[in-house]
């Protein structure tokens, strides 16, 4: 049958366990799917029996279908997707024949296949024939035609069949999704994004828990080159593929950093920088209505990230600080950064911070009393902080595309 439309089955594993809130989570996921597919010839999006069925109004071999699948692979909250063949109505006799033909066609491209299974799920409990019976009938037809062995537990190739109230679906290939929860199902958070390896991974991890992530980056222009800003923007573009819209706030930190470098004891400089970063981040968080801050900290990774220092840094914040990488090793984080596609960006060389801003002998066990005394000596920083926030720039992205930029009396990147 020549199909003029394509069905994509979307399975949401984790949402299936959400009890009474399930309808809410599924609603958020459906909205995100609709947004992700905007611009494509989208038909209906229907929820049925723990799955979402997405209809694309072109035949299966059209590029729009491949594009839709590519986009769905990045929608958080999806366990797997499958492009399904459809039989309208419920013609069991045709199912046997056509599902078998479909299986043989897939098999031709995979000659190494030795075993198979048929797995039928009967969403429509009124359907007169039960799943085991359908598995047997279709399985026998496939076995006869292919000569393959049946292996229910660990098959090389599986033919999936779904019985819905008004149609039958079948498919062989499932593509893994991102899993997790759909963006927007949890609160908005603000991620402190350096251009390093860790914070992009932390941002992605927290996004996978359903949080919409906004970003703040502190740069030291003119003491450093613009590269860290450009790299950060590139990182936001990569992360932007996983949520409908991303905001990046760029904060000129050089002046504050310079004052600390000149006036505070060198060993606790980094702790002081981080405390002021948190204070500024909280101002941004209020503006974007974020409920928590996110960092890429991991215990023991660098001198500033001992438990003692983390405690002293955190003392400057009132919002909760989420640290998804806290117990991860650098190797694990790098592995995730490579999969995410941020590793190559984060490791591009640039001048991180000019020498005199960074101490040679950072304190690994900062004492809160000493840090508070140093802040006392710096005097009131309110004006400096306000000036810093006033000169912040904002960039907004829809998916991976920048749609707006503004603010900042000293633009750091040419438009
Ligand atoms: P990363 O690889 O994310 O830069 P790191 O191991 O270099 O992490 P630090 O430089 O100690 O760690 O920073 C700890 C965390 O503080 C970062 O993960 C990030 O969340 C935040 N952070 C550090 N520098 C900046 C910055 N310039 N702008 C925004 N956030 C920052
Ligand atoms: Mg860093």
According to DSSP, residue 209 is labeled: B
The CA-based angle 294-296-298, given to 5 degrees, is 125
| Alpha carbon 21 to its chain's center | 21
Q: Is the CB of 193 under 6 A from ligand 1?
A: yes
The pLDDT of residue 167 is 85
Shortest-distance atom of ligand 1 to CA 228: 27
Strand partners, 42: 56
Please name the residue whose Cα sits nearest to atom 14 of ligand 1.
297
Q: Tens of pLDDT along 97-130?
A: 999 999 999 999 999 999 999 999 987 788 888 9
Give the Å distance between the CA of 232 and the centre of ligand 2.
Answer: 11
Shortest-distance atom of ligand 1 to CA 199: 3
Domains of the chain plus CATH, in order, are 1-84 (3.30.70.1510), 89-174 (3.30.2300.10), 188-407 (3.40.50.620)
Q: Which residue has the higher pLDDT, 407 or 243?
A: 243
Please name the residue whose Cα sits nearest to atom 7 of ligand 1.
196
Please name the residue whose Cα sits nearest to atom 23 of ligand 1.
194
According to DSSP, residue 148 is labeled: P
The pLDDT of residue 411 is 40
| Alpha carbon 234 to its chain's center | 15
Of 280, 351, 275, the closest CA to residue 316 belongs to: 275
Q: Is the CB of 270 under 6 A from ligand 1?
A: no
Of 212, 218, 211, 210, the closest CA to residue 193 belongs to: 218
pTM above 0.85, yes or no: yes
Q: Where are the alpha helices (DSSP H) in 73-122?
A: 92-109
Q: Indicate the pLDDT class of residue 219, thresholds 50, 70 and 90.
A: very high
Q: Is the CB of 297 under 6 A from ligand 1?
A: yes
In this model, does residue 160 exceed pLDDT 50?
yes
Strand partners, 35: none
Please compute the mean of the pLDDT values over residues 276-294 and round it to a whole number: 97
According to DSSP, residue 413 is labeled: S
Shortest-distance atom of ligand 1 to CA 219: 27
Q: Tens of pLDDT along 163-197?
A: 888 889 999 999 999 999 999 999 999 999 999 99
In this model, does residue 406 exceed pLDDT 90?
no
In this model, does residue 24 exceed pLDDT 70?
yes
Of 45, 54, 113, the closest CA to residue 83 belongs to: 54
In this model, does residue 232 exceed pLDDT 60?
yes
Q: Is the CB of 375 under 6 A from ligand 1?
A: no
Please compute the mean of the pLDDT values over residues 36-42 and round it to a whole number: 96
Lowest mean pLDDT among 115-119, 343-347, 397-401, 405-409: 405-409
Of 319, 285, 157, 283, the closest CA to residue 215 belongs to: 285
Q: Indicate the pLDDT class of residue 414, thresholds 50, 70 and 90.
A: very low
Query: Could you say which ligand is closest to the alpha carbon of residue 235?
Result: 1
Helix, strand, coil content of the chain in percent (nearest 5): 40, 20, 35
Distance CA 311, CA 304 (A): 11
| b/e map 323-338, b = 16+ CB within 10 Å | bbbbebeeeebbebbe
In this model, does residue 247 exceed pLDDT 90?
yes
Distance CA 397, CA 245 (A): 6
CB of 97 within 8 A of CB of 174?
no
CA–CA distances in Å: residue 359 to residues 297, 304, 317: 19, 11, 23
The pLDDT of residue 356 is 60
Tell me whether residue 269 is exposed, middle or buried, using C-beta atoms within 10 angstroms of its C-beta: 0 to 12, 13 to 18, 19 or more: buried
Q: Which residue has the higher pLDDT, 222 or 213?
A: 213
According to DSSP, residue 48 is labeled: E
Q: Is the CB of 32 under 6 A from ligand 1?
A: no
Please name the residue whose Cα sits nearest to atom 30 of ligand 1.
192
Q: How many CB atoms lie within 10 A of CB 256?
A: 24
Query: Could you say which ligand is closest to the alpha carbon of residue 193?
Result: 1
Distance CA 354, CA 186 (A): 39
Query: Strand 401-407 vs strand 393-398: parallel, antiparallel, or unpaired?
Result: antiparallel
């Amino acid at each position: 049958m020549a199909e003029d439309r394509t069905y994509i089955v979307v399975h949401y594993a984790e949402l299936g366990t959400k009890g009474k809130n399930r309808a809410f989570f599924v609603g958020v996921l459906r909205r995100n799917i609709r947004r992700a597919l905007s611009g494509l010839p989208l038909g209906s999006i229907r929820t049925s029996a723990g799955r979402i069925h997405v209809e694309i109004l072109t035949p299966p071999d059209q590029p729009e279908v491949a594009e839709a699948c590519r986009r769905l692979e990045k929608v958080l909250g999806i366990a797997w997707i499958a492009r399904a063949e459809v039989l309208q109505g419920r013609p069991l006799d045709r199912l046997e024949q056509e599902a078998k033909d479909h299986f043989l066609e897939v098999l031709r491209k995979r000659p190494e296949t030795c075993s198979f299974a048929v797995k039928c799920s009967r969403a429509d409990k009124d359907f007169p024939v039960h799943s085991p019976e359908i598995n047997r009938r279709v399985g026998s037809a496939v076995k006869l035609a292919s000569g393959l062995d049946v292996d229910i537990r660990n098959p090389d190739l599986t033919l999936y069949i779904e019985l819905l109230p008004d149609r039958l679906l079948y498919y062989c290939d499932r593509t893994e999704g991102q899993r997790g929860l759909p963006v927007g199902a949890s609160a908005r958070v603000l991620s402190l994004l350096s251009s390093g390896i860790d914070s992009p991974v932390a941002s992605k991890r927290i996004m996978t828990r359903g949080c919409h992530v906004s970003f703040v980056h502190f740069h030291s222009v003119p003491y450093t080159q613009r590269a860290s800003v450009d790299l950060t923007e590139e990182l936001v573009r990569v992360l932007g593929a996983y949520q409908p819209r991303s905001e990046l706030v760029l904060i000129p930190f050089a002046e504050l950093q310079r004052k600390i470098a000149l006036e505070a004891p060198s060993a606790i400089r980094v702790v002081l920088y981080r405390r002021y970063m948190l204070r500024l981040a909280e101002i941004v968080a209020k503006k974007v209505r974020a409920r928590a801050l996110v960092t890429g900290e991991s215990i023991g990774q660098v001198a500033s990230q001992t438990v003692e220092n983390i405690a002293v840094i955190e003392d400057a914040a009132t919002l909760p600080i989420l640290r998804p990488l806290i117990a991860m090793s650098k190797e694990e984080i790098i592995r995730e950064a490579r999969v995410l596609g941020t590793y190559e960006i984060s490791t591009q060389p640039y001048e991180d911070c000019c020498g005199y801003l960074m101490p040679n002998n950072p304190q690994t066990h900062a004492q809160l009393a000493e840090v508070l005394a140093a802040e006392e000596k710096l005097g009131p920083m309110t004006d400096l902080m306000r000036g810093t926030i006033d000169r912040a720039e904002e960039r907004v992205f829809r998916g991976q595309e920048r749609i707006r930029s503004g603010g900042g009396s000293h633009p750091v990147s040419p438009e």
